[in-house]
Structure 1
Amino acid sequence: MEAGTVAELVGQALAAARVAEETDEWDEYGTLLWRAAADGLGSLPLGLELIGSDDPVERATGCDLLGDASDQNEAVRAETAAALVALAERETEGHVLWSLARAIERTYDQRAVPVLAALAGHPDAEIRQRVASSFAGVVTGLPDGPDIRALIMLTRDKDPEVRNWATFTLGFQAEVDSPAIRAALWERTTDESADAREEGIRGLARRHDLRAVPLLAELLDNPEGAHTLTFSAAEIMGIPELLPSLLEYEPDGVWVTAAVNACDPVRRAQLDASAWDLLCALDQLRPDLDASVYMERFDHGVSLGLGDNFESSGYDVEALLERADGEPARAAELVASDQPRSPGPSGRGRPLG
Protein backbone atom coordinates (compact mmCIF):
# COMPACT_ATOMS: atom_id res chain seq x y z
CA MET A 1 0.00 0.00 0.00
CA GLU A 2 1.29 3.46 -0.88
CA ALA A 3 2.32 5.63 2.07
CA GLY A 4 0.05 8.38 0.79
CA THR A 5 -2.88 5.99 0.76
CA VAL A 6 -2.19 5.00 4.37
CA ALA A 7 -2.08 8.66 5.37
CA GLU A 8 -5.33 9.33 3.50
CA LEU A 9 -7.08 6.44 5.24
CA VAL A 10 -5.86 7.63 8.63
CA GLY A 11 -7.03 11.16 7.83
CA GLN A 12 -10.47 9.83 6.88
CA ALA A 13 -10.55 7.75 10.08
CA LEU A 14 -9.75 10.82 12.16
CA ALA A 15 -12.62 12.69 10.53
CA ALA A 16 -14.91 9.72 11.20
CA ALA A 17 -13.76 9.65 14.83
CA ARG A 18 -14.74 13.27 15.36
CA VAL A 19 -18.21 12.51 13.98
CA ALA A 20 -18.49 9.34 16.05
CA GLU A 21 -17.70 11.31 19.19
CA GLU A 22 -21.12 12.89 18.69
CA THR A 23 -23.08 10.02 17.08
CA ASP A 24 -21.45 6.97 18.72
CA GLU A 25 -21.31 5.32 15.27
CA TRP A 26 -17.82 3.84 15.10
CA ASP A 27 -18.08 1.27 12.29
CA GLU A 28 -16.66 3.47 9.51
CA TYR A 29 -13.83 4.60 11.76
CA GLY A 30 -12.88 1.02 12.62
CA THR A 31 -12.98 -0.12 8.99
CA LEU A 32 -10.78 2.74 7.79
CA LEU A 33 -8.18 2.23 10.51
CA TRP A 34 -8.02 -1.52 9.96
CA ARG A 35 -7.34 -0.97 6.26
CA ALA A 36 -4.63 1.59 7.03
CA ALA A 37 -3.03 -0.69 9.61
CA ALA A 38 -2.68 -3.55 7.14
CA ASP A 39 0.54 -1.84 6.05
CA GLY A 40 2.27 -2.21 9.39
CA LEU A 41 5.53 -0.45 8.59
CA GLY A 42 3.68 2.26 6.70
CA SER A 43 1.18 2.93 9.47
CA LEU A 44 3.66 2.72 12.36
CA PRO A 45 5.16 6.23 12.00
CA LEU A 46 1.69 7.73 11.65
CA GLY A 47 0.53 5.99 14.81
CA LEU A 48 3.61 7.12 16.72
CA GLU A 49 3.07 10.70 15.55
CA LEU A 50 -0.59 10.66 16.58
CA ILE A 51 0.03 9.41 20.13
CA GLY A 52 2.34 12.38 20.64
CA SER A 53 -0.41 14.87 19.72
CA ASP A 54 -1.94 17.37 22.14
CA ASP A 55 -5.39 16.36 20.83
CA PRO A 56 -6.88 13.41 22.79
CA VAL A 57 -8.91 12.31 19.74
CA GLU A 58 -5.70 12.00 17.78
CA ARG A 59 -3.96 10.16 20.61
CA ALA A 60 -6.83 7.67 20.90
CA THR A 61 -6.79 7.18 17.12
CA GLY A 62 -3.04 6.65 17.25
CA CYS A 63 -3.48 3.95 19.89
CA ASP A 64 -6.18 2.25 17.83
CA LEU A 65 -4.04 2.41 14.70
CA LEU A 66 -1.02 0.94 16.49
CA GLY A 67 -3.16 -1.80 18.00
CA ASP A 68 -4.62 -2.72 14.61
CA ALA A 69 -1.14 -2.66 13.05
CA SER A 70 0.24 -4.93 15.78
CA ASP A 71 -2.65 -7.32 15.33
CA GLN A 72 -1.85 -7.69 11.64
CA ASN A 73 1.95 -7.28 11.62
CA GLU A 74 4.24 -8.93 14.13
CA ALA A 75 7.18 -6.80 12.98
CA VAL A 76 5.79 -3.62 14.59
CA ARG A 77 4.80 -5.07 17.96
CA ALA A 78 7.97 -4.41 19.94
CA GLU A 79 8.24 -0.75 18.94
CA THR A 80 4.50 -0.27 19.46
CA ALA A 81 4.64 -1.77 22.94
CA ALA A 82 7.52 0.50 23.95
CA ALA A 83 5.68 3.57 22.69
CA LEU A 84 2.42 2.67 24.42
CA VAL A 85 4.19 1.98 27.72
CA ALA A 86 5.74 5.44 27.50
CA LEU A 87 2.36 7.00 26.70
CA ALA A 88 0.77 5.26 29.70
CA GLU A 89 3.16 7.08 32.04
CA ARG A 90 1.75 10.48 31.08
CA GLU A 91 -1.77 9.84 29.76
CA THR A 92 -4.79 10.97 31.81
CA GLU A 93 -7.68 11.13 29.33
CA GLY A 94 -10.11 8.26 29.91
CA HIS A 95 -11.00 7.41 26.31
CA VAL A 96 -7.32 7.46 25.34
CA LEU A 97 -6.51 5.06 28.18
CA TRP A 98 -9.32 2.77 26.97
CA SER A 99 -7.79 2.66 23.49
CA LEU A 100 -4.30 2.27 24.96
CA ALA A 101 -5.36 -0.78 27.01
CA ARG A 102 -6.94 -2.37 23.97
CA ALA A 103 -3.93 -1.63 21.77
CA ILE A 104 -1.21 -2.79 24.13
CA GLU A 105 -2.91 -6.16 24.53
CA ARG A 106 -2.50 -6.77 20.82
CA THR A 107 1.26 -6.33 20.99
CA TYR A 108 1.35 -9.59 23.00
CA ASP A 109 4.29 -8.05 24.85
CA GLN A 110 4.89 -8.71 28.55
CA ARG A 111 5.73 -5.03 29.04
CA ALA A 112 1.96 -4.48 28.84
CA VAL A 113 1.36 -6.23 32.17
CA PRO A 114 2.44 -3.41 34.54
CA VAL A 115 0.48 -0.90 32.44
CA LEU A 116 -2.71 -2.94 32.65
CA ALA A 117 -2.14 -3.75 36.32
CA ALA A 118 -1.92 -0.02 37.09
CA LEU A 119 -5.07 0.71 35.06
CA ALA A 120 -6.97 -2.03 36.92
CA GLY A 121 -7.54 0.49 39.70
CA HIS A 122 -8.85 3.26 37.46
CA PRO A 123 -12.07 4.92 38.72
CA ASP A 124 -13.81 4.52 35.33
CA ALA A 125 -15.61 1.14 35.11
CA GLU A 126 -15.38 1.08 31.30
CA ILE A 127 -11.60 1.29 31.51
CA ARG A 128 -11.48 -1.43 34.18
CA GLN A 129 -13.64 -3.63 31.96
CA ARG A 130 -11.34 -3.04 29.00
CA VAL A 131 -8.35 -3.90 31.18
CA ALA A 132 -10.02 -7.08 32.43
CA SER A 133 -10.41 -8.37 28.88
CA SER A 134 -7.05 -7.03 27.66
CA PHE A 135 -5.06 -9.18 30.08
CA ALA A 136 -5.97 -12.17 27.89
CA GLY A 137 -3.27 -11.30 25.34
CA VAL A 138 -0.42 -10.89 27.83
CA VAL A 139 -1.04 -13.42 30.62
CA THR A 140 2.33 -14.27 32.19
CA GLY A 141 1.49 -17.80 33.28
CA LEU A 142 2.71 -17.03 36.79
CA PRO A 143 0.14 -18.08 39.44
CA ASP A 144 0.98 -15.05 41.56
CA GLY A 145 1.98 -12.68 38.75
CA PRO A 146 0.84 -9.05 38.71
CA ASP A 147 -1.64 -9.86 35.95
CA ILE A 148 -3.28 -12.62 38.00
CA ARG A 149 -3.38 -10.48 41.13
CA ALA A 150 -5.04 -7.66 39.18
CA LEU A 151 -7.55 -10.03 37.62
CA ILE A 152 -8.46 -11.51 41.01
CA MET A 153 -9.04 -7.98 42.29
CA LEU A 154 -11.22 -7.20 39.27
CA THR A 155 -13.33 -10.34 39.80
CA ARG A 156 -14.48 -8.58 43.01
CA ASP A 157 -15.17 -5.25 41.32
CA LYS A 158 -18.36 -3.36 42.21
CA ASP A 159 -19.36 -3.27 38.52
CA PRO A 160 -20.95 -6.56 37.30
CA GLU A 161 -19.55 -6.30 33.76
CA VAL A 162 -16.05 -5.79 35.11
CA ARG A 163 -16.50 -8.89 37.29
CA ASN A 164 -17.86 -10.81 34.31
CA TRP A 165 -14.93 -10.01 32.00
CA ALA A 166 -12.33 -10.45 34.72
CA THR A 167 -13.75 -13.85 35.67
CA PHE A 168 -13.85 -14.92 32.02
CA THR A 169 -10.24 -13.88 31.45
CA LEU A 170 -9.05 -15.46 34.69
CA GLY A 171 -11.15 -18.60 34.37
CA PHE A 172 -11.16 -19.40 30.67
CA GLN A 173 -8.34 -17.42 29.05
CA ALA A 174 -5.55 -17.78 31.62
CA GLU A 175 -4.00 -21.25 31.63
CA VAL A 176 -2.77 -21.03 35.20
CA ASP A 177 -3.99 -22.47 38.48
CA SER A 178 -3.54 -21.79 42.19
CA PRO A 179 -5.61 -21.90 45.41
CA ALA A 180 -6.07 -18.12 45.17
CA ILE A 181 -7.39 -18.38 41.61
CA ARG A 182 -9.82 -21.14 42.56
CA ALA A 183 -10.97 -19.17 45.59
CA ALA A 184 -11.71 -16.15 43.40
CA LEU A 185 -13.61 -18.28 40.89
CA TRP A 186 -15.54 -20.01 43.67
CA GLU A 187 -16.63 -16.62 45.05
CA ARG A 188 -18.20 -15.80 41.72
CA THR A 189 -20.35 -18.94 41.71
CA THR A 190 -22.74 -17.07 44.02
CA ASP A 191 -22.52 -13.76 42.15
CA GLU A 192 -25.75 -11.84 41.66
CA SER A 193 -24.68 -11.34 38.04
CA ALA A 194 -25.69 -14.45 36.08
CA ASP A 195 -22.87 -13.91 33.56
CA ALA A 196 -20.17 -13.61 36.22
CA ARG A 197 -21.60 -16.65 38.01
CA GLU A 198 -21.42 -18.76 34.85
CA GLU A 199 -17.84 -17.69 34.21
CA GLY A 200 -16.88 -18.69 37.75
CA ILE A 201 -18.42 -22.14 37.29
CA ARG A 202 -16.78 -22.69 33.92
CA GLY A 203 -13.42 -21.47 35.21
CA LEU A 204 -13.51 -24.00 38.04
CA ALA A 205 -14.54 -26.76 35.62
CA ARG A 206 -11.58 -25.92 33.40
CA ARG A 207 -9.37 -26.66 36.40
CA HIS A 208 -11.15 -29.98 37.02
CA ASP A 209 -12.46 -28.72 40.35
CA LEU A 210 -15.16 -31.18 41.46
CA ARG A 211 -17.11 -28.44 43.23
CA ALA A 212 -18.14 -27.28 39.77
CA VAL A 213 -19.93 -30.54 38.86
CA PRO A 214 -23.41 -29.86 40.31
CA LEU A 215 -23.20 -26.21 39.30
CA LEU A 216 -22.23 -27.12 35.73
CA ALA A 217 -25.09 -29.64 35.60
CA GLU A 218 -27.40 -26.83 36.69
CA LEU A 219 -26.21 -24.67 33.79
CA LEU A 220 -26.74 -27.55 31.40
CA ASP A 221 -30.26 -28.07 32.75
CA ASN A 222 -31.27 -24.49 31.93
CA PRO A 223 -34.59 -24.72 30.01
CA GLU A 224 -33.32 -22.04 27.61
CA GLY A 225 -30.23 -24.09 26.79
CA ALA A 226 -26.58 -23.77 27.68
CA HIS A 227 -23.81 -21.54 26.33
CA THR A 228 -21.29 -23.20 24.01
CA LEU A 229 -18.55 -22.55 26.57
CA THR A 230 -20.56 -24.57 29.10
CA PHE A 231 -20.41 -27.58 26.79
CA SER A 232 -16.68 -26.93 26.38
CA ALA A 233 -16.28 -26.88 30.18
CA ALA A 234 -18.20 -30.16 30.43
CA GLU A 235 -15.92 -31.69 27.81
CA ILE A 236 -12.84 -30.56 29.74
CA MET A 237 -14.16 -32.12 32.96
CA GLY A 238 -15.13 -35.30 31.14
CA ILE A 239 -16.94 -37.01 34.02
CA PRO A 240 -20.00 -39.32 33.85
CA GLU A 241 -22.02 -37.26 36.35
CA LEU A 242 -22.65 -34.69 33.59
CA LEU A 243 -23.86 -37.22 31.03
CA PRO A 244 -27.59 -37.24 31.98
CA SER A 245 -27.82 -33.49 31.48
CA LEU A 246 -25.92 -33.63 28.19
CA LEU A 247 -28.14 -36.39 26.79
CA GLU A 248 -31.13 -34.05 27.03
CA TYR A 249 -29.73 -32.10 24.07
CA GLU A 250 -30.03 -32.95 20.39
CA PRO A 251 -26.99 -35.07 19.45
CA ASP A 252 -26.29 -33.28 16.16
CA GLY A 253 -24.59 -30.24 17.68
CA VAL A 254 -20.80 -30.43 17.50
CA TRP A 255 -20.36 -28.96 20.99
CA VAL A 256 -22.86 -31.40 22.46
CA THR A 257 -21.35 -34.41 20.72
CA ALA A 258 -17.84 -33.58 21.90
CA ALA A 259 -19.02 -33.15 25.50
CA VAL A 260 -21.00 -36.41 25.42
CA ASN A 261 -18.04 -38.30 24.00
CA ALA A 262 -15.82 -36.94 26.77
CA CYS A 263 -18.26 -37.71 29.59
CA ASP A 264 -19.50 -41.11 28.39
CA PRO A 265 -17.20 -43.69 30.05
CA VAL A 266 -17.77 -46.23 27.27
CA ARG A 267 -16.91 -43.80 24.48
CA ARG A 268 -14.01 -42.43 26.49
CA ALA A 269 -12.62 -45.94 26.97
CA GLN A 270 -13.00 -46.62 23.24
CA LEU A 271 -11.13 -43.42 22.38
CA ASP A 272 -8.36 -44.22 24.86
CA ALA A 273 -7.99 -47.71 23.39
CA SER A 274 -7.94 -46.37 19.83
CA ALA A 275 -5.38 -43.73 20.77
CA TRP A 276 -3.12 -46.42 22.23
CA ASP A 277 -3.52 -48.62 19.13
CA LEU A 278 -2.73 -45.62 16.94
CA LEU A 279 0.39 -44.85 18.94
CA CYS A 280 1.61 -48.46 18.72
CA ALA A 281 0.93 -48.66 14.97
CA LEU A 282 2.71 -45.37 14.34
CA ASP A 283 5.71 -46.48 16.38
CA GLN A 284 5.97 -49.55 14.16
CA LEU A 285 5.73 -47.48 10.97
CA ARG A 286 7.79 -44.44 11.95
CA PRO A 287 9.74 -44.74 15.21
CA ASP A 288 11.69 -41.66 14.11
CA LEU A 289 8.63 -39.48 14.76
CA ASP A 290 8.89 -40.05 18.53
CA ALA A 291 5.09 -39.98 18.87
CA SER A 292 3.17 -39.66 22.13
CA VAL A 293 -0.41 -39.06 23.23
CA TYR A 294 -1.36 -36.45 25.82
CA MET A 295 -4.17 -34.24 27.12
CA GLU A 296 -3.82 -30.54 27.82
CA ARG A 297 -4.59 -29.64 31.43
CA PHE A 298 -6.78 -26.68 30.54
CA ASP A 299 -8.22 -28.01 27.31
CA HIS A 300 -10.19 -30.97 26.04
CA GLY A 301 -9.51 -33.94 23.81
CA VAL A 302 -6.62 -36.33 23.27
CA SER A 303 -3.73 -35.15 21.11
CA LEU A 304 -0.98 -36.95 19.25
CA GLY A 305 2.36 -35.20 19.60
CA LEU A 306 5.43 -35.70 17.43
CA GLY A 307 8.89 -35.08 18.81
CA ASP A 308 9.42 -32.24 21.25
CA ASN A 309 7.41 -29.57 19.44
CA PHE A 310 3.85 -30.75 20.08
CA GLU A 311 2.11 -27.52 19.14
CA SER A 312 3.43 -27.28 15.61
CA SER A 313 3.23 -30.97 14.74
CA GLY A 314 0.34 -32.37 16.78
CA TYR A 315 -2.93 -33.98 15.73
CA ASP A 316 -6.34 -34.12 17.35
CA VAL A 317 -6.81 -37.86 17.82
CA GLU A 318 -10.59 -37.85 17.37
CA ALA A 319 -10.35 -35.84 14.14
CA LEU A 320 -7.54 -38.05 12.90
CA LEU A 321 -9.52 -41.22 13.59
CA GLU A 322 -12.50 -39.71 11.80
CA ARG A 323 -10.32 -39.16 8.73
CA ALA A 324 -9.31 -42.80 8.97
CA ASP A 325 -12.88 -44.14 9.33
CA GLY A 326 -12.15 -45.13 12.92
CA GLU A 327 -9.21 -47.40 12.05
CA PRO A 328 -6.12 -46.72 14.21
CA ALA A 329 -3.79 -48.45 11.74
CA ARG A 330 -5.10 -46.33 8.88
CA ALA A 331 -4.74 -43.21 11.04
CA ALA A 332 -1.11 -44.12 11.67
CA GLU A 333 -0.56 -44.43 7.92
CA LEU A 334 -2.06 -40.99 7.38
CA VAL A 335 0.32 -39.46 9.91
CA ALA A 336 3.30 -41.31 8.47
CA SER A 337 2.48 -40.06 4.96
CA ASP A 338 2.02 -36.50 6.23
CA GLN A 339 5.46 -36.33 7.82
CA PRO A 340 8.64 -36.13 5.73
CA ARG A 341 11.46 -38.41 6.72
CA SER A 342 14.51 -36.83 8.31
CA PRO A 343 17.62 -36.95 6.14
CA GLY A 344 20.07 -39.68 7.06
CA PRO A 345 23.86 -39.33 7.24
CA SER A 346 24.18 -39.35 3.45
CA GLY A 347 21.57 -36.61 3.05
CA ARG A 348 19.35 -38.89 0.94
CA GLY A 349 16.84 -39.82 3.65
CA ARG A 350 16.45 -42.93 5.73
CA PRO A 351 15.89 -46.30 4.11
CA LEU A 352 12.28 -47.48 4.00
CA GLY A 353 12.98 -51.03 4.97
Structure 2
Amino acid sequence: MLWDNFIILIAIIKKHIRYGIEDSKKMLVAGLADPNPCVIAVALSGLSHTPVPEALPTMLTFVDHPHVWCRQKLAFALYHFIDEGPHVTNALLKLANDDFEQTRDWATYDLQYSQVDTPEVRECLWRNAHDEDSLVVNEAMQGLARRKDKRVAALIEHYIKSGNYYDDSYLLEVAELYGDPILIETVKKTIISETVEAE
Protein backbone atom coordinates (compact mmCIF):
# COMPACT_ATOMS: atom_id res chain seq x y z
CA MET A 1 0.00 0.00 0.00
CA LEU A 2 2.78 2.43 0.91
CA TRP A 3 4.61 1.61 -2.32
CA ASP A 4 1.43 2.29 -4.36
CA ASN A 5 1.05 5.70 -2.72
CA PHE A 6 4.70 6.46 -3.46
CA ILE A 7 4.24 5.55 -7.15
CA ILE A 8 1.17 7.80 -7.37
CA LEU A 9 3.07 10.66 -5.74
CA ILE A 10 5.96 10.31 -8.20
CA ALA A 11 3.52 10.28 -11.13
CA ILE A 12 1.92 13.49 -9.86
CA ILE A 13 5.28 15.19 -9.42
CA LYS A 14 6.41 14.16 -12.91
CA LYS A 15 3.27 15.63 -14.46
CA HIS A 16 3.61 18.82 -12.39
CA ILE A 17 -0.06 18.65 -11.57
CA ARG A 18 -1.06 21.25 -9.03
CA TYR A 19 -4.19 20.63 -7.00
CA GLY A 20 -6.30 23.01 -4.99
CA ILE A 21 -4.97 26.17 -6.66
CA GLU A 22 -8.27 28.05 -6.54
CA ASP A 23 -8.80 27.10 -2.90
CA SER A 24 -5.23 28.18 -2.11
CA LYS A 25 -5.75 31.53 -3.80
CA LYS A 26 -8.93 32.14 -1.79
CA MET A 27 -7.14 31.29 1.46
CA LEU A 28 -4.19 33.57 0.63
CA VAL A 29 -6.45 36.49 -0.27
CA ALA A 30 -8.46 35.92 2.93
CA GLY A 31 -5.19 36.01 4.87
CA LEU A 32 -4.67 39.60 3.75
CA ALA A 33 -7.72 40.59 5.80
CA ASP A 34 -6.45 38.97 8.99
CA PRO A 35 -5.56 41.40 11.82
CA ASN A 36 -2.44 39.39 12.72
CA PRO A 37 0.60 40.79 10.83
CA CYS A 38 2.23 37.35 10.82
CA VAL A 39 -0.75 35.93 8.94
CA ILE A 40 -0.61 38.84 6.49
CA ALA A 41 3.11 38.25 5.93
CA VAL A 42 2.54 34.55 5.27
CA ALA A 43 -0.32 35.37 2.87
CA LEU A 44 1.90 37.83 0.98
CA SER A 45 4.65 35.24 0.85
CA GLY A 46 2.19 32.71 -0.56
CA LEU A 47 1.01 35.23 -3.14
CA SER A 48 4.59 35.61 -4.31
CA HIS A 49 4.43 31.96 -5.43
CA THR A 50 0.78 31.91 -6.48
CA PRO A 51 0.01 35.39 -7.83
CA VAL A 52 -3.58 36.62 -7.77
CA PRO A 53 -3.91 39.79 -9.88
CA GLU A 54 -7.25 40.67 -8.28
CA ALA A 55 -5.48 40.90 -4.91
CA LEU A 56 -3.00 43.55 -6.08
CA PRO A 57 -4.96 46.61 -4.83
CA THR A 58 -5.24 45.03 -1.37
CA MET A 59 -1.59 44.00 -1.41
CA LEU A 60 -0.51 47.57 -2.13
CA THR A 61 -2.22 48.79 1.05
CA PHE A 62 0.59 47.13 3.04
CA VAL A 63 3.35 49.35 1.64
CA ASP A 64 3.36 51.39 4.87
CA HIS A 65 2.53 48.54 7.24
CA PRO A 66 4.29 48.94 10.60
CA HIS A 67 5.33 45.27 10.67
CA VAL A 68 8.64 44.83 8.84
CA TRP A 69 7.84 41.35 7.50
CA CYS A 70 4.65 42.56 5.85
CA ARG A 71 6.64 45.14 3.90
CA GLN A 72 9.39 42.65 3.06
CA LYS A 73 6.95 40.00 1.83
CA LEU A 74 5.09 42.64 -0.17
CA ALA A 75 8.31 43.63 -1.94
CA PHE A 76 8.91 39.94 -2.69
CA ALA A 77 5.35 39.39 -3.97
CA LEU A 78 5.28 42.46 -6.22
CA TYR A 79 7.78 40.87 -8.62
CA HIS A 80 4.88 39.37 -10.59
CA PHE A 81 3.37 42.83 -11.06
CA ILE A 82 6.44 44.99 -11.76
CA ASP A 83 5.05 46.44 -14.97
CA GLU A 84 1.42 46.80 -13.90
CA GLY A 85 1.48 50.58 -13.72
CA PRO A 86 2.60 53.57 -11.68
CA HIS A 87 0.85 52.40 -8.49
CA VAL A 88 3.19 49.37 -8.37
CA THR A 89 6.26 51.41 -9.35
CA ASN A 90 5.49 53.97 -6.63
CA ALA A 91 5.12 51.20 -4.05
CA LEU A 92 8.45 49.69 -5.11
CA LEU A 93 10.17 53.08 -4.94
CA LYS A 94 8.92 53.47 -1.38
CA LEU A 95 9.90 49.91 -0.39
CA ALA A 96 13.34 50.36 -1.97
CA ASN A 97 13.91 53.10 0.60
CA ASP A 98 12.73 50.99 3.56
CA ASP A 99 14.69 50.83 6.82
CA PHE A 100 14.90 47.03 6.57
CA GLU A 101 17.64 45.88 4.19
CA GLN A 102 15.75 42.78 3.01
CA THR A 103 12.82 44.95 1.96
CA ARG A 104 15.17 47.31 0.12
CA ASP A 105 16.85 44.32 -1.52
CA TRP A 106 13.64 42.77 -2.89
CA ALA A 107 12.18 46.10 -4.00
CA THR A 108 15.44 47.01 -5.75
CA TYR A 109 15.48 43.55 -7.34
CA ASP A 110 11.97 44.18 -8.66
CA LEU A 111 12.93 47.59 -10.01
CA GLN A 112 15.98 46.07 -11.66
CA TYR A 113 13.79 43.83 -13.84
CA SER A 114 10.99 46.34 -14.37
CA GLN A 115 10.61 47.86 -17.83
CA VAL A 116 9.81 51.19 -16.20
CA ASP A 117 12.61 53.65 -16.88
CA THR A 118 11.82 57.00 -15.32
CA PRO A 119 14.10 59.56 -13.66
CA GLU A 120 12.60 58.51 -10.30
CA VAL A 121 13.47 54.85 -10.88
CA ARG A 122 17.01 55.71 -11.98
CA GLU A 123 17.50 58.00 -8.99
CA CYS A 124 16.34 55.24 -6.64
CA LEU A 125 18.71 52.74 -8.28
CA TRP A 126 21.57 55.27 -8.09
CA ARG A 127 20.92 55.87 -4.39
CA ASN A 128 20.74 52.14 -3.69
CA ALA A 129 23.95 51.53 -5.63
CA HIS A 130 25.56 53.29 -2.64
CA ASP A 131 23.60 51.36 0.01
CA GLU A 132 25.28 49.90 3.10
CA ASP A 133 23.92 46.45 2.17
CA SER A 134 25.95 44.72 -0.55
CA LEU A 135 22.97 42.80 -1.96
CA VAL A 136 21.01 46.02 -2.42
CA VAL A 137 24.04 47.56 -4.14
CA ASN A 138 24.29 44.65 -6.57
CA GLU A 139 20.59 44.77 -7.52
CA ALA A 140 20.80 48.53 -8.05
CA MET A 141 23.96 48.25 -10.13
CA GLN A 142 22.32 45.65 -12.36
CA GLY A 143 19.25 47.86 -12.73
CA LEU A 144 21.39 50.81 -13.82
CA ALA A 145 23.37 48.60 -16.20
CA ARG A 146 20.20 47.20 -17.80
CA ARG A 147 19.09 50.78 -18.43
CA LYS A 148 22.52 51.63 -19.91
CA ASP A 149 22.88 54.44 -17.37
CA LYS A 150 26.28 55.98 -18.10
CA ARG A 151 26.96 56.58 -14.40
CA VAL A 152 27.35 52.83 -13.88
CA ALA A 153 30.75 52.82 -15.63
CA ALA A 154 32.25 55.12 -12.99
CA LEU A 155 30.63 53.04 -10.25
CA ILE A 156 32.15 49.84 -11.62
CA GLU A 157 35.57 51.49 -11.67
CA HIS A 158 35.01 52.77 -8.12
CA TYR A 159 34.20 49.28 -6.87
CA ILE A 160 37.19 47.79 -8.71
CA LYS A 161 39.53 50.28 -7.03
CA SER A 162 37.97 50.02 -3.57
CA GLY A 163 37.79 46.23 -3.72
CA ASN A 164 34.68 46.19 -1.56
CA TYR A 165 32.07 44.94 -4.01
CA TYR A 166 29.90 42.03 -2.91
CA ASP A 167 31.50 39.61 -5.36
CA ASP A 168 33.67 40.34 -8.40
CA SER A 169 31.78 37.81 -10.51
CA TYR A 170 28.61 39.86 -9.92
CA LEU A 171 30.53 42.99 -10.85
CA LEU A 172 31.44 41.24 -14.11
CA GLU A 173 27.75 40.53 -14.66
CA VAL A 174 27.01 44.24 -14.18
CA ALA A 175 29.71 45.14 -16.71
CA GLU A 176 28.32 42.62 -19.19
CA LEU A 177 24.79 43.98 -18.75
CA TYR A 178 26.12 47.47 -19.39
CA GLY A 179 27.87 46.18 -22.49
CA ASP A 180 31.14 48.13 -22.55
CA PRO A 181 33.86 45.73 -23.84
CA ILE A 182 36.69 47.71 -22.21
CA LEU A 183 34.93 47.70 -18.85
CA ILE A 184 34.26 43.97 -19.17
CA GLU A 185 37.96 43.30 -19.82
CA THR A 186 38.96 45.53 -16.89
CA VAL A 187 36.74 43.55 -14.50
CA LYS A 188 38.02 40.24 -15.91
CA LYS A 189 41.65 41.34 -15.39
CA THR A 190 40.83 42.38 -11.83
CA ILE A 191 39.31 38.97 -11.10
CA ILE A 192 42.32 37.17 -12.61
CA SER A 193 44.84 39.28 -10.69
CA GLU A 194 42.96 38.77 -7.41
CA THR A 195 42.86 35.02 -8.06
CA VAL A 196 46.61 34.91 -8.73
CA GLU A 197 47.34 36.95 -5.58
CA ALA A 198 45.19 34.61 -3.50
CA GLU A 199 47.20 31.57 -4.64
* TM-score tier after normalising by the smaller chain length: 0.7 to 0.9
Deviation at 1:225, TM superposition (A): 6.9
The equivalent position to 1:80 in structure 2, one of 24, 38, 50, is 24
Q: In structure 2, what residue type is equivalent to 1:168?
A: Y
1:177 alignment counterpart: 117
Gaps of 5+ in 1: 6-34, 45-75, 252-353
CA distance in 1, matches of 2:129, 2:166: 19
Residue 177 of structure 2 corresponds to residue 249 of structure 1: no
Residue by residue over 1:180-217, the C-alpha shift from the partner in whole angstroms, topping out at 9 and shown as x without a partner, is: 21121122233333432332222111211111111123
Q: In structure 2, what residue type is equivalent to 1:191?
A: D
Query: 1:1-353 residue pairs with structure 2 within 5 A?
Result: 40-41=18-19, 44=20, 76=21, 78=22, 80-88=24-32, 90-136=33-79, 138-142=80-84, 144=86, 146-171=87-112, 173-221=113-161, 222=163, 226=167, 228-242=169-183, 243-250=185-192
CA distance in 2, matches of 1:142, 1:112: 13
1:20 alignment counterpart: none
**In 2 relative to 1, CA 176–228 (structure 1 residues): closer, same or farther, beyond 3 Å?**
farther
- Contact 1:201/1:212 (8 A) holds in 2: yes
| TM-score normalised by the chain length of structure 2 | 0.75
**In 2 relative to 1, CA 120–194 (structure 1 residues): closer, same or farther, beyond 3 Å?**
same
CA distance in 1, matches of 2:36, 2:166: 42
Q: Number of matched residues?
A: 180
CA distance in 2, matches of 1:216, 1:102: 34
Deviation at 1:235, TM superposition (A): 1.1
Deviation at 1:114, TM superposition (A): 2.1
Percent sequence identity is 24
CA distance in 2, matches of 1:114, 1:99: 17
Report the structure, 1 or 2, having the larger helix content.
2
Q: Structure 1 stretches (4+) deviating beyond 6 angstroms?
A: none
Deviation at 1:236, TM superposition (A): 1.4
**In 2 relative to 1, CA 168–227 (structure 1 residues): closer, same or farther, beyond 3 Å?**
farther
**In 2 relative to 1, CA 140–79 (structure 1 residues): closer, same or farther, beyond 3 Å?**
farther
- Secondary structure of 1:111's partner? helix
By relative contact order (CA 8 Å, sep 6+), the higher-ranking structure is: 2
- Secondary structure of 2:191's partner? coil
Gaps of 5+ in 2: 6-12, 194-199
- Contact 2:45/2:74 (8 A) holds in 1: yes
Residue by residue over 1:208-263, the C-alpha shift from the partner in whole angstroms, topping out at 9 and shown as x without a partner, is: 11111111233345267725443222111111341323222249xxxxxxxxxxxx
- Secondary structure of 1:114's partner? helix
Question: What is the aligned-residue RMSD (CA, Å)?
Answer: 3.0
**In 2 relative to 1, CA 223–150 (structure 1 residues): closer, same or farther, beyond 3 Å?**
closer
Task: Pick the structure with greater CA Rg.
Answer: 1
**In 2 relative to 1, CA 202–224 (structure 1 residues): closer, same or farther, beyond 3 Å?**
closer
2:9 alignment counterpart: none
Which one is further off, 104-113 or 200-209? 104-113
